[in-house]
Amino acid sequence: MNEKLELHIQDEGDFFYREAIKKLRANIQFSGKKNKIIMITSVFSGEGKSEVSFHLAQEMANAGKKVLYVDADIRKSVFLERYGVVGEVVGLSEFLSGQIDRVDQIIYPTYIENLSVILAGHYAPNPAEMLGDEQFSTLLKMESQRYDYVFVDTPPLGQVIDAALVGQYCDGAVLILESGAASRQAAQRVKDQIEKSGCRILGAVLNRASREGEGYYGSKYGKYGKYGKYGEYSKYGNE
């Protein structure tokens, strides 16, 4: 087993953001025991998908559930940079390309109790083929027997097809939408693609929606910036 991965989590959002994540966690738990492998996607990049999915996994772990977070954004993962991971690490791309034989070699426990992660690994030129392979399906099914929940962070479906391929292996999907970022038509196309993959849509999250002047708490959910465009790669594929 790999040594524990140290994650530098500097910003978990304000009170209202954290409360929204807790509500999302509760909604997923009430969606049914059969929904164990949950895919998280968005329409476009920069809508807050990756931080919402990780904070959801973290909150589920804090609630006492054994959780595996899978970074399936082999094209352009933000995980290593965002959480300050240092040292040489391997991940999903190495396993799916046959460079690593055993799944346990790419699973990293963390100092967050109950939470383990699979990193995306180095950038690969054929991520869609990798994620659509039966080997990835086998990985998810096997780990869903060891963990209470497996959260799979995928690239934005409005830009690349990866999430639709992953969806066929998942029990449910959550769509992250930034307020005012994607048109209704674009969101509808992504919804249709998820459903065509055979994956049930559990719900959608409206991220960074202003609630100022609308009573109750009157704040904003989320406060993260844009990441840039798909196609800008570094060593690990980070944005």
Q: Are 28 and 181 contacting, i.e. CB atoms less than 8 angstroms apart?
A: no
How high is the pLDDT of residue 231? 32
Neighbours of 78 (CB within 10 A): 22
How high is the pLDDT of residue 212? 52
How high is the pLDDT of residue 226? 32
Domain range list for the chain: 25-207
Residue range 149-164: mean pLDDT, rounded: 95
The angle, 0 to 180 degrees and rounded to 10, between the axes of the packed helices 49-62 and 15-30 is 70
Cα-based angle 129, 160, 101 (whole degrees, multiple of 5): 30
Could you read off the pLDDT of 204-218 as tens digits, one per residue?
988 876 655 343 333
Q: Assign 45 a pLDDT band (cuts: 50, 70, 90).
A: confident
Could you read off the pLDDT of 73-96 as tens digits, one per residue?
999 898 999 999 988 999 999 999
Which one is predicted more confidently, 153 or 206?
Answer: 153
Choosing among 3.40.50.300, 3.30.1340.10, 3.90.550.10, 3.40.190.10, the CATH entry for 25-207 is: 3.40.50.300
